[in-house]
Structure 1
């Protein structure tokens, strides 16, 4: 590759020079009499009329190679670091390199983050010949920055440091803890630095944050304050409380969840004192009943000091919004312990009141906020076990994430067995689509049985086309690669008999097979050279 040139007239600028060649190609060499871009160190054939087209094509070929190599023109007389440090990890082998290139070229894009994470976990790195392609691919995809940075190796990290467009990947790496990122970085880089520092030195991170917050715009304040969730402790309460009554609603709603999650939070205790008289359990010899009242007073600024807004779209009605917000902030186990009732019994009693929607919605939000798996499980069981009269929209995805995958599987399998007929409105499908990877074999086997039965009825396929496609697409991500045969043996023979679903079914089987190859590539010997 050509070295940096010091003469400005011959300095290589791959981006601008490539655009000049593109314009020349569109207009034609005869209509573009200007000089071709010059590549230092590369000599073109003599400039005769017969060779101008050849000159353009040769220049395009050279520039293409240079651009793929990640060349950047020198921005100062200061020389770049001579060489990268020696590699400490093995690169992918020949097959793995080919598979990674397919991912970078756009095949199975959903598998790239998973494969990069697996590379890091197995202490393998990206081969040198794919570094520029990976850096350029991840440059505009912030969700890939951290995963890509972990597998660049020494040469990849060195290469990324030479190009400002790639340096964001290094800022996202676990090693990017220099305080220069805090002083001069973008807001995203500063937030990442603060998050990493909170994991190591939470007090030091708080001391850095406190004096700079007043000078930040509200949007940046919210983004930086959110990083305090890492290593959150009672020592953070004074700083968070300062911003509970901020002018910006975004800032207020950032610090409020952090404050109520603090152990022995004074704010939560204030919420309890307001809410407890409004939701009372009445007992008699034969039954129990919940009595719900709305707050007697209207909203004023004293409510705002408790983090309660005047309106909340989750709870229609101004006074209902006050009660709903209170309940959504109080740990739900506080109620079941106060009444000496199980979460499921508390839900049954709430469903019998005229305020069922408010209570159930607020308790679901509170279970997510306080990461309460017992209440999350009770809510999901209550919601899915039988058809409910109440038209509720619960945060089921957030509740499901609180449960161990094995427990979520135990919830969904009986629902499938109770209704083993697949159709677009089957109640267990939304819950099944929340069971994360990797699916256990018994779940995969049961779902495949249901699909095989459904696919054996060609006349009904058009009715289930959308729902089945959605399920097959999800299975391609969560079914382990080693279960490929478990899916292929019963379903592959049906490929020609499911015209509405042929592409979705083929994609499932092809994706599982590709993932199987990716898993094998992690243990392949490093390619020579």
Structure 2
């Protein structure tokens, strides 16, 4: 670059477009900024274009020099073993393909293994390799389901990077790790951020504080409750689900008088999750007035008299007066009352019967579906395992479900209230009786890796479907789920399924090849998952 152009640098054109215009018009008609007319004008234009090109390629707009960033914080956790670090780089370099098991080929879907790898690395307390942090943050940016585990693994250096790149600001919002984030013992800083922070920062702060000091988080929210916007109050109130306790009842009772209907409904839902709350008792009285046992017939029968009106007290306690389109008002009100009433109140109101005996009683006048559906929602909300068992019934029931569950989604929610081992045994029994076509949603609530009964039931059902010549692509979702959830130790049982089977006459064309390919991918994926765990397990000293 010539001295003339360098000396004139402050007055060079600010945009590439101005340089292009000058070149098109010619330096005889338009002199470049900062240069004198004459024979050196074309050279000045070329010098200016060269300088602008460097600026453009640098990716930064010309500006005064900014202060150097602070050093990245140290991560005290132990580094990954070398083999695990190489595996992480491989997983992050893979590009997501077709979701689920519908893709062809025997190669594993590496991106679908990344969540499990992150969970295992976090459980072992390893630190992320610094060189992998950008790719890790990019992966978390594209998949919200990865963010909690990815940010935990990335550690404090990820927050340092996120402050330097706007594309990664989600990390600051997700963890409350903005530049002004106070420490857990900085009471003044917490109050200051709560008063002055951005909405996302305040949500993250409240969630973090609630997880470690529930009362302090509630007091912080109560201090500004009256001045918050309705949509913000709703989001803040939802944070009280974490470590909800009877100590929260006075605050939630006040929220029942909120001017926002959605806030009132959320407060009522939280209170009904506390079986000993005053609201739960009020709902029990209302629901008990609608449901009773009728002994006048040949067998005891549950008689239902749905509410005839939704009074002001019911509305204050969260009952929505207006029914959805196509729904009767009285059944709508009844469902809400029963759903919010403590389940432990029904045995004493219905003759001392157990949940199983109550669910088995016939219900008069076609109210059974409505009543049992409300009990299902109550069992899920109150995490009541006894009622969940009663409503699920036996997995081998011929109607493919319990007497109270009205949909697979509802059964899945009921199963979520049971202990993992019991849940696995129920799902395995369901698969053995009804096969896999009805079980996909139920498999999603089983702990990963699947317990032995579930794994055996899934493999046996897939084998039966293959031998029967079933349409193979209808099982692609289950196959993809098995790749992620089946215990790696099950891979040995699958070796016999890798050969292409003889296709029955009524089999789908090409089904045998698809099944062999799918089982090969399943086995390869299980062995890869086993290798991942081995790589993350440091050798014993």
- Shorter-chain TM band: 0.7 to 0.9
Give, in whole Å, the separation in 2 of the partners of 1:126 and 1:410: 37
Give, in whole Å, the separation in 1 of the partners of 2:368 and 2:395: 13
User: Deviations 1:100-132 (Å, cap 9, x if unpaired)?
Assistant: 223323353333233222212111122121111
Give, in whole Å, the separation in 2 of the partners of 1:279 and 1:471: 41
TM superposition shift of 1:202 = 2.0
TM superposition shift of 1:457 = 3.1
| Matched residue, 2:462 | 451
Alignment of 1:255-334 (within 5 A): 255-283=267-295, 287-295=299-307, 297-313=308-324, 316-334=327-345
Give, in whole Å, the separation in 2 of the partners of 1:410 and 1:502: 28
CA contact (8 A) 1:455 1:494 kept: no
1:250 to 262, 284, 288: 262
CA contact (8 A) 2:264 2:317 kept: no
1:221 to 233, 243, 261: 233
| Matched residue, 2:473 | 465
Give, in whole Å, the separation in 1 of the partners of 2:319 and 2:220: 29
CA contact (8 A) 2:395 2:427 kept: no
Give, in whole Å, the separation in 1 of the partners of 2:363 and 2:284: 21
| Matched residue, 2:506 | none
Give, in whole Å, the separation in 2 of the partners of 1:73 and 1:472: 54
User: Deviations 1:410-454 (Å, cap 9, x if unpaired)?
Assistant: 2233344445xx574xx5565345433221224322331232232
Q: 1:86 to 1:436 in 2, by over 3 A?
A: closer
TM superposition shift of 1:270 = 1.2
Normalising by structure 2, we get a TM-score of 0.75
| Matched residue, 1:396 | 411
Unaligned runs of 5+ in 2: 1-6, 17-22, 27-42, 44-49, 97-109, 184-189, 502-509
After alignment, is 165-174 or 297-306 more displaced?
A: 165-174
Give, in whole Å, the separation in 2 of the partners of 1:361 and 1:263: 19
TM superposition shift of 1:305 = 1.2
CA contact (8 A) 1:315 1:324 kept: no
User: Deviations 1:351-384 (Å, cap 9, x if unpaired)?
Assistant: 5652001101100000011110111122112686
| Matched residue, 1:199 | 211
1:492 to 498, 511, 524: 498
| Matched residue, 1:381 | 393
Give, in whole Å, the separation in 2 of the partners of 1:117 and 1:182: 31
TM superposition shift of 1:279 = 0.6
Give, in whole Å, the separation in 1 of the partners of 2:336 and 2:387: 18
1:78 to 67, 79, 82: 67
Any idea what SS the aligned residue of 1:246 has? coil
Give, in whole Å, the separation in 1 of the partners of 2:149 and 2:200: 16
After alignment, is 321-330 or 135-144 more displaced?
A: 135-144
Matched residue count: 469
Does residue 100 in structure 1 map to residue 88 in structure 2? yes
CA contact (8 A) 2:392 2:405 kept: no
Give, in whole Å, the separation in 2 of the partners of 1:444 and 1:149: 31
| Matched residue, 2:222 | 210
| Matched residue, 1:407 | 422
Give, in whole Å, the separation in 2 of the partners of 1:391 and 1:414: 16
User: Deviations 1:338-361 (Å, cap 9, x if unpaired)?
Assistant: 331121221121556520011011
Give, in whole Å, the separation in 1 of the partners of 2:165 and 2:61: 7
TM superposition shift of 1:399 = 1.1
1:88 to 60, 76, 83: 76
2:132 to 130, 133, 153: 130
Larger RCO of the pair (alpha carbons < 8 Å, separation 6+): 2
Q: 1:341 to 1:428 in 2, by over 3 A?
A: farther
**Aligned residues: CA RMSD:** 4.0
Give, in whole Å, the separation in 1 of the partners of 2:224 and 2:287: 36
Q: 1:331 to 1:287 in 2, by over 3 A?
A: same
| Matched residue, 2:160 | 158
